[in-house]
Chain A
Amino acid sequence: MTEFYSLLPALFLGVGGMVLLLGGVLAKKTDTTPAVTFGAVVLLLIAAALTLMAPDALLFHGLLKTSLFTRYADTLVYLGAIAALILSVDYNKREKIARFEYPILVLFAVLGMIVMISAADMMTLYIGFELQSLALYICAALARDSVRSTEAGLKYFVLGALASGLLVYGISLVYGFAGTTNFVALANVFQQGAGVGTIVGVVFVLVALAFKISAAPFHMWAPDVYEGAPTSVTALFATAPKAAAMALFLSVMAGPFAHLTGQWESLIQILAVLSMVIGALAAIGQSNIKRLLAYSSVSHMGYALMGLATGTAGGIQASLVYIALYVVMSFGAFACVVAMRRNGQAVEKIDDLAGLAAEHPGFAFAFAVFMWSMAGIPPLSGFFAKLYVFYTAFNAGYDTLTIIGIVASVISAFYYLRVIKVMYFDHGQPQFDKTAAGVGFVMAVGAFVTIFFVAMPGPLMALAGDAAKALMG
């Protein structure tokens, strides 16, 4: 019976998604989107509650495993998806892309992410990975009459398919050399070390995962997809799938490949350094806020990987804290981008923000908080995320890595600062349309958490610590 309870959230999401789909198709009403979106949010909330109450279990003869770690990552996924759905209601309506299929696709994507996070076998990992990817490809091309959106969807699909191919190839190599796809069994096999063939397989798996979290040098798709996809969808891309893929990254590296730390450690370090540096440098020249946030997310993934690069429970804890705070900052920042509309048209240039502080002080303040927090300026939450990663990396003896991280963080402060400069110092009349209540709510929640994290950092850190321990076993 415990097994049933730990499976319940996933079952609930799957069945609920199908019921909503039927309802959407069969409803006589012309516009069912708000109702379906509401239903999807409620389903996600119930699933979140069920997840938090779910016990630890090993399901289907070791195919899925739930623990505090998976519950932690699942909660982040729900959080990101709920925020993205709230943002989508008003945005999709105004862009005339409100289709009831969107919230349902998000539900299936979330289901895929949950399977992916709880995977304890290479096969379930792949199934979850594909389920979420396919749902997200369609989401990217949601504005099907827009060339940019279609292009984004196609680009995402082609490169995503490549990543999936690499993943399957890597899994097949690992299976071929180790003779099993089960995580526990793999970990046992690798205790004695691994041959060249296995290492090649591991590298392929790692590359596919790096693609999903858009770590440099596998980040090429991110700016184009972020820019082309409708902003409400980009808000989803930047939060839930990132959290899920990062959790998967952690669980694969600390699970089946735990004994190969010596082999993958330097790869992760290279990914971390490249992501931090490329993310910081490439963002400087951007004039589109969505592209800027895409590069910023590349560099954030670099910092999150830095925790993993240490290969310790403390490092994984730091990565988990980073991801949680990143999700909150990210949906907040995207709520601000969603609210950027003038005369019914969405605007995306940074220069469109000129003079915002004089016209909408609250909006500008919230945006400034997210930018400062992403730049890692205390006392905002982004600082603690970085401090914790730097602290663990430095303590583990990775001095060079930490120094590179600090330098990259100074460089990135420069472009975040530019956004604030435009909003506060430049003169202009943004004349933005009235912000929808839902968007304002997401913005306010994000800003509140980002500002007041300093007052109570303990609980999240402790929770992440327990989650990391649950993962390391």
Chain B
Amino acid sequence: MNQLGFPILSLITFLPLLGAFLVATLSGDDEKAAGKARCIAFLFSFIVLVLGVFVWTRFNPAIAGYQFVEVMPWLSGINVEYRMGVDGISLFLILLTLALTPIAILASNAIKTRARSFFAAMLLLESMTLGMFAATDFVLFYIFFEAVLLPMYLIIGVWGGERRIYAAVKFFVFTLAGSLFMLLAVVWIWRHLGTTDIAVMTHAAIPANAQTWLFLAFLAAFGVKAAVWPLHTWLPDAYGEAPVPGTIMLAAVLSKMGAYGFLRFALPMLPNASASFEPLMFVFGVVAVIYISYVALAQTDMKRMIAYSSVAHMGVIIIGLFTFTVEGIEGALFQMLSHGIVIAGLFICVGIITAREQSLNLKNLGGLAANMPVFAAALMLFSLANMGLPGTSGFIGEILVIVGALKVNFWVSLLGGAGVVLGAAYMLVLLRAVLFDKFTRPDLAKLKDLTGREYAMLLPLAVLVMWLGVYPSSFTHAFDAPIAALVQAHTAALNPHMALAMVTAK
């Protein structure tokens, strides 16, 4: 078993499933059950958060490989085992999921219709996402990766906005089409290597000519999920139409699944193809940063503007990943965490405005800072973090990516770095339109400031933003080891003579 002698990762993964079952089978009329369902859902997501923090305290950052490993026979006959484990890369993505689910559940008090199904879907979503980050077998990973679609499809389609059905179907078809190519790639690698154990697959050599095709298949799956430009077109619709808690989960956690996929599979398994596709990925990243920032600037809807800013930040993450430098990849990973927290904060601010029955059209907002000073401060903090102001979490990720990119190519670094400036442009436009200016309508002056529940959502996120920004090494020290190993293996795969030198040096 593992160092705890206890399958803690499976417990964390499947406990929300039990919660989902309890919530779904609650009796009573819809109105009363809604409150109970929210309590149970919050309780379960909080318990697994505590378990997750416990795993973090027992995590050994010096080890590059998987920890808390669980292995069980599963698909006998076709040589697939049930394998779970975490390393420094997946640990924080699991913690991010664990931390944001209770907050998203707190943010869903506006859900009154069919609340039992909603909270069951949220817990199911959490369970599948956690399983995906913790799976260390490719078939298992694929199953969780796909299963995330089911609850998300329902969350957008049932509880979403006006164009919810269009958004839900677009989301589903895009991601399904993408991931079936991945299935093909999985089966190919499976045939080639005879195993689906990720740890083994990572170190196995795959012929260079096959890598190109496999990389394209991975790009289809992970690129859609991560909303890499130009595969992002589902995203503004899905983010815009999903209910606020759904948007939080989509933007903060689900978009990281794609980037995680690149980091976990595309980079280490296909080093040659990753290297040869590097320029293309840089172009995608730079276009996302610059073009999408301009698109964000043109938005008139607050939710869609934040959605586009999310695509722009995914561009930064992609650039960071494909620098193949320790700084760049660490920056990308850090940016994934930071972006998750910041974007969740921003969407909660959106939810606070919707909860006061205001439209999200920027023309109809304004002057909120006068009546809602605490709200204004929170929105300001998350906006500044989103543009990467020093002292906030956003800065660390951006600067590491820029440094990493500078080692590879000056122009990529310069253009990627332009995102910080453009980010400042649209975030400031947003701040001015929402918080300052004059009241566009008299009823805006009557809005109340934050309630206790809203404090409970924003405060932990604000603390995390500052923590990540001021003391980043409490996070980075855990992913130093796996990322150093990854970069080393990548260099070795591209330069066989250097690999020999490394072996002899040891």
When C-beta atoms are compared, the residue in chain B nearest to A386 turns out to be B183
Q: Is the CB of A390 within 8 A of B147?
A: no
Q: Is the CB of B77 within 8 A of A425?
A: no
Q: Is the CB of B143 within 8 A of A383?
A: yes
- Contact residues, A289-319 vs B (CB, 8 A): 317
Q: Does A53 contact B (CB under 8 A)?
A: no
**Closest CB-CB distance, A77 to chain B, in whole Å?**
24
Q: Does B353 contact A (CB under 8 A)?
A: no
Interface-side segment among B39-47, B168-176, B417-425: B168-176
Given A357-B114, A378-B147: A388 and B78 interface contact (C-beta under 8 Å): yes
Q: Which of A361, A379, A391, A410 contacts B143 (CB 8 A)?
A: A379
- Contact residues, B70-87 vs A (CB, 8 A): 73-78
- Contact residues, A417-473 vs B (CB, 8 A): 417, 420-421, 424-426, 454, 457-458, 461-462, 465
**Closest CB-CB distance, A351 to chain B, in whole Å?**
14
Q: Does A11 contact B (CB under 8 A)?
A: no
Q: Is the CB of B187 within 8 A of A394?
A: yes
Q: Does B142 contact A (CB under 8 A)?
A: yes
Q: Does B165 contact A (CB under 8 A)?
A: yes
Q: Does B184 contact A (CB under 8 A)?
A: yes
Q: Does A406 contact B (CB under 8 A)?
A: yes
Bound Cα distance A358, B116 (Å): 11
Interface-side segment among B149-157, B450-458, B471-479: B149-157
Q: Does A4 contact B (CB under 8 A)?
A: no
- Chain B residues near A378: list those with CB within 8 A: 142-144, 146-147
- Chain A residues near B158: list those with CB within 8 A: 357, 424-425
Q: Is the CB of A410 within 8 A of B157?
A: no
Q: Does B444 contact A (CB under 8 A)?
A: no
- Chain B residues near A417: list those with CB within 8 A: 153, 169, 172-173
Given A391-B187, A410-B176: A357 and B147 interface contact (C-beta under 8 Å): no
Bound Cα distance A372, B153 (Å): 12
Q: Is the CB of A425 within 8 A of B74?
A: no
Q: Does A377 contact B (CB under 8 A)?
A: yes
Give the secondary structure class of A's interface: helix
Bound Cα distance A353, B191 (Å): 43
Q: Which of A317, A361, A409, A461 contacts B75 (CB 8 A)?
A: A461
Q: Does A92 contact B (CB under 8 A)?
A: no
**Closest CB-CB distance, A147 to chain B, in whole Å?**
37
Q: Does B291 contact A (CB under 8 A)?
A: no
- Chain A residues near B339: list those with CB within 8 A: none
Q: Is the CB of A406 within 8 A of B183?
A: yes
Given A357-B117, A425-B165: A379 and B187 interface contact (C-beta under 8 Å): no
Contact string against B for A residues 405-417, beta-carbon threshold 8 Å, 1 for contact and 0 otherwise: 0110110011001
Bound Cα distance A377, B187 (Å): 16
Q: Is the CB of A361 within 8 A of B117?
A: yes
- Chain A residues near B149: list those with CB within 8 A: 377
Q: Does B180 contact A (CB under 8 A)?
A: yes
Q: Does B256 contact A (CB under 8 A)?
A: no
When C-beta atoms are compared, the residue in chain A nearest to B128 turns out to be A379
Bound Cα distance A425, B113 (Å): 12
- Chain B residues near A387: list those with CB within 8 A: 139, 183
Q: Is the CB of B114 within 8 A of A421?
A: no
Q: Which of A372, A425, A465 is packed against the most chain B CB atoms within 10 Å?
A: A425
Q: Is the CB of B78 within 8 A of A424?
A: no
Q: Does A220 contact B (CB under 8 A)?
A: no
Q: Does B277 contact A (CB under 8 A)?
A: no
Q: Is the CB of B77 within 8 A of A461?
A: yes
Q: Does B177 contact A (CB under 8 A)?
A: yes
Q: Does A25 contact B (CB under 8 A)?
A: no
Q: Does A395 contact B (CB under 8 A)?
A: yes
Q: Does A46 contact B (CB under 8 A)?
A: no
Q: Does A184 contact B (CB under 8 A)?
A: no
- Chain A residues near B168: list those with CB within 8 A: 421, 425
Q: Does B303 contact A (CB under 8 A)?
A: no
Given A395-B191, A462-B76: A377 and B146 interface contact (C-beta under 8 Å): yes
When C-beta atoms are compared, the residue in chain B nearest to A390 turns out to be B187
- Contact residues, A121-157 vs B (CB, 8 A): none
Q: Does A70 contact B (CB under 8 A)?
A: no
Contact string against A for B residues 179-203, beta-carbon threshold 8 Å, 1 for contact and 0 otherwise: 0100110011011000000000000
Q: Is the CB of B143 within 8 A of A454?
A: yes
- Chain A residues near B142: list those with CB within 8 A: 378
When C-beta atoms are compared, the residue in chain A nearest to B139 turns out to be A387
Q: Is the CB of A425 within 8 A of B157?
A: yes
Q: Is the CB of B164 within 8 A of A425?
A: yes
When C-beta atoms are compared, the residue in chain A nearest to B146 turns out to be A378
- Interface, chain A (partner B; CB < 8 A): 317, 357-358, 361, 365, 372, 377-379, 383-384, 387-388, 390-391, 394-395, 402-403, 406-407, 409-410, 413-414, 417, 420-421, 424-426, 454, 457-458, 461-462, 465
Can you report 11 residue pairs joining A to B where beta carbons are below 8 Å apart? A357-B117, A361-B24, A372-B150, A378-B143, A378-B144, A378-B147, A394-B191, A410-B176, A424-B154, A424-B157, A458-B76
- Interface, chain B (partner A; CB < 8 A): 24, 73-78, 113-114, 116-117, 139, 142-144, 146-147, 149-150, 153-154, 157-158, 164-165, 168-169, 172-173, 176-177, 180, 183-184, 187-188, 190-191
Extra inter-chain contacts (14) besides given A357-B117, A454-B143, A457-B76, CB under 8 Å = A379-B144, A394-B188, A402-B184, A402-B187, A417-B169, A417-B173, A421-B165, A424-B154, A424-B158, A426-B165, A461-B75, A461-B77, A462-B76, A462-B77
The 8 closest A-B pairs by CB, nearest first: A378-B143, A458-B76, A425-B157, A461-B77, A378-B146, A394-B187, A379-B143, A425-B165
